[in-house]
Amino acid sequence: MNKNNRKDHLYAVAFKLFLTKHYDAVSISDIENESGMTRGAITYYGKDKRGLFYDVVRHYLIDSQNLDFKLKKTDFVSLSDFIEEYVRGSQETMARFHQIDSKVENGSRAYMALILQICDFFPDLHEQYLENRNKELLKWIEIIQKAVGNKEIRAGIDVITTAKLFMNVFYGQSYLDALSAGLNTVELRLQFQNIYRFIKN
């Protein structure tokens, strides 16, 4: 196994553990046992448990949740097109959690638990997370403004409020579904489509 593969393997194993247990409940010994790597190899990539947690969370929850990574497309012909791509990206995120550990049936709950731990342990990562959310809001605003200009949706709507409405539906749905089986992307699509029908020309 080459260095990159070893690092990827370690990150996947550590993320699985941090996803299914609280940070305090995961030991370096757990990571050794799950990864099949020595403590020396682990500390080469993560320095210590806290450093590994930081790197793994940044990789899986900050970098990979950046909208630039999450959306495969960069050019959208319509708001409707963007909505479909956004839902597809959300489905891929849930599938990624399930691939890391098939026992993670509720990816939304695991995701939110990790976000709360970020707040406790790493304020700078929390700032990066919030920065991603702000970039996401700006992207919604850009797409909605374009849709108004193209007469896809009604003129005169409050673009910023509408952008926040779409985002609040996503985060609200994620929170509510975290209390049950995890984000229902079929329901998310339906809610987005209802807003779209309301503002469509």
Tens place of pLDDT for every residue, the chain, 201 residues? Answer: 556 688 888 998 898 888 888 888 999 999 999 999 999 989 888 888 889 998 988 888 788 777 877 787 778 999 999 999 999 988 887 777 666 655 555 566 777 778 888 888 888 888 888 898 999 999 999 999 999 999 999 999 999 999 999 999 998 888 787 767 677 899 999 999 999 999 998
pLDDT at 62: 82
Nearest Cα to 16, choosing from 109, 97, 132?
97
Burial 22-51 (b: 16+ CB within 10 A, else e): ebeebeeeebeeebebeeeebeebbeebee
Nearest Cα to 193, choosing from 91, 84, 92?
84
Instruction: Find all residues with CB under 8 Å of 72, minimum gap 6, and list them.
Output: 85, 88, 89
Instruction: Specify the length of the chain in residues.
Output: 201
Give all domains of the chain, ordered by start, each with its CATH number: 3-60 (1.10.10), 64-199 (1.10.357)
pLDDT at 106: 59
Instruction: Give pTM, 2 decimals.
Output: 0.81
Alpha-carbon span 105 to 6, nearest angstrom = 26
Nearest Cα to 121, choosing from 131, 110, 129?
129
**Bridge partner list, 153:** 200
CA 145 from chain center: how many Å?
25
